[in-house]
Amino acid sequence: MIERMKKLTFLVYHKEYDSFLHDLQALGVVHIQKSGDQTMAEPATLRTLRQQERDVKDVLYSLQQLAGVFLEDVPVGNAGVTESIEASQAMKLVRRVQEIGASLAAITPRMEQLQRDAEDLRPWGAIDKAMMKKLHDAGIREHYRIASASRFDEKFPEYTSLVINRDKRFVYFLTFDIEGQESERVAAQSLRLPEMSLDEVEREIASLTSQRDALEFERNKIAEDNIGDIIALQGEIESAVAREEATLKTQRAALDTVVVMEGWFPVKEEKNISAFLSKEQAYYEMRDPVATDNVPIQLHNNRFNRMFERLTRMYGFPCYNEWDPTPIVAPFFTLFFAICMGDGGYGIIITLYGLLEIMGKARKTPVVGEMLHGCGDMVFTLGVATTLVGLALGTFFGLSIIDYVPDGTPLHDYYAFVGGKFPGTNYSFQMAAAIIIGVVHLCIAMMVKAILYTAKEGLSATLSTWAWNLLLIGGIIVGTLSMVGTLSPETTRFVIIGIGAVSAVGIYLLNNIGRLKSSPLKALIINPLAGLYDTYNMASGLLGDVLSYVRLYALCLAGGALGSAFNQIGDMMAAQGILVAAWLIYFIGHTLNLLLSAISAFVHPLRLNFVEYFKNSGYEGKGTGYEPLQNAECVM
């Protein structure tokens, strides 16, 4: 659900504004609304703070990788090794880490080049540069050559070639030319060696290595001792940025002596706000929102739905006059995920991982640990649902449970029913179940849309929407009751005709009440045509939407088939006595299948909610999130 809000307007004397803003930030419940002319450029102070904020965030990320921790696990202001330091000192540490990073970035390519130079020089040993200079002064030029050992020409005269080194593959040798005279052509590769000698290169490598180690030690020391202080600095900077942004959102009146601020706060905080403002030297006014207000949205749900609020925020906050879709998204996303996974064994793995994440034991896991950090409760819930649905569908790590249940038992009969045809049809039970679930999902969406539009625009403006609900949902209910024998064929025919007649009036005649009142004759021509166009869109759109839910069955079937294939390959290896290869195939195959299935089971249920459900429920998600002015929590 959406938290009820109230608007707050207050006037503050400009000399008391900074103090008032600090106190308001400490209270931490007022969302400041933009007001006045917001086209002015950001002040230099705010630009500087934003740059510092980016710098600190980048440095904290690098230190986090070094320390191997999540920043919220670090005590703020004190890392437990040294006493906490002032913000100015912490900023110096940030700059020092940046300098170290720049130095290491410059050292790395230089060392790589020197390593290549050393590899080129090593076969030639220590070349006497002084002797080479004397030869150059005498007009003799040397050429560094390399040839394969099998092709090296041993007949080169000793005064024009000198073998320096020889290994199993190559011969490294020198040839000499007298300057100004054409030398004998040598069928061997000529090399251009670095200007530095091998000793010089190795000395520079040693020097750079020492510098790199010292810099890395210093950076690691900062990561170990002062990461908490830098996190505290991040919080101070973020709080300062929030105050500067709040200042930009205010107006100044009465010759700039009075600051006008507007904001929003949850109704449940009204007593705290009133108590706070009664102690401040400020005039204020509170009122309920009106239709034209852009009210910030704070979601308020029970523990289960709250886990899935992050999915709603991914799409967009609802507007204040909309409904929070989370209570519908949460159970259906859970069910869709479980069906797409469709394996009880995989569900147990997901459940255990979610439990480890909740306990804080999965945070060291690379990549996946960071992606799912803070989502342990949702992962655990999805894992439990996957386990139950997977066992209900009869699949456990790619194995078909029915193969291990004795014939003639109720459990065997149940799995035979689930794995067979849907009663009265030639369609798979699981495919038909996926379509039925989709129809229920869409019916809920259409009912939500009708209720929401009625609340916003009135009943007379939504008669056509209710008529479609009556036709589709009523028709489905009557058809279902007829199939199970609750309604006789005669009663079913009578009810269907009644539903169709009433729905037709709403769809084709009452789809625009305003036109019907202003020009009845014109409405009798245009309204039916508009109804026909709406019928075409509804029929084509709903058919495609319903068929979209077949993906639930397809993904479940694909994951089960792939898991079964890995089991068969592993069984073949085991039958030949290659047990190590068999267990490797089991482990790698099911790990790969689990990861691929988990990705699909997240993306496709998300699509069914974001596209099929949101479209048919009329949800737009154009609201603004509630972001109160408050002190930063000092985490990335």
Res 156: pLDDT: 54
Least confident of 33-47, 374-388, 390-404, 482-496: 33-47
Backbone angles phi, psi at 283, to 5 degrees: -90, 135
Mean pLDDT value across residues 576-584: 89
Q: Which of 58-72, 119-133, 426-440 has the lowest mean pLDDT?
A: 58-72
CA distances from 461 to 74, 308, 456, 512, 530 (A): 57, 33, 10, 7, 15
Q: Which residues pair with 589 in a beta bridge?
A: none
Give the pLDDT confidence score for residue 632 in this predicted structure.
63
Query: 11: which strand partners?
Result: 260, 283
Please indicate whether residue 512 or residue 487 has the higher confidence score (pLDDT). 487
- What are 337-376's pLDDT values in tens digits? 999 998 999 999 999 988 888 876 555 554 455 556 667 8
Residue 334, both tokens: 């859970």
- Residue that is written with structure tokens 């193969």 in the block: 403
For residues 280-298, give the mean pLDDT. 81
Alpha-carbon distance 452 to 525, whole Å? 29
Q: Parse the chain into domains and list their residue ranges.
A: 128-192, 303-426+550-617, 449-548
Dist CA 413 CA 396 (whole Å): 18
Could you tell me which of 93, 565, 573, 597 has the C-alpha nearest to residue 339? 597
3-state secondary structure of 264: strand
CA-CA distance, 625 to 60, in Å (whole number)?
27
Q: Judging by DSSP bridges, how do beta strands 399-400 and 282-287 pair with one another?
A: unpaired
Asked if pLDDT for residue 255 goes beyond 60, the answer is: no
- Give the number of C-alpha atoms closer than 13 A to the C-alpha of residue 150, restricted to the C-beta side: 1
Q: What are phi and psi of 164, to 5 degrees?
A: -95, -40
Both structure tokens of 611: 């596209």
Write down the pLDDT at residue 555: 92
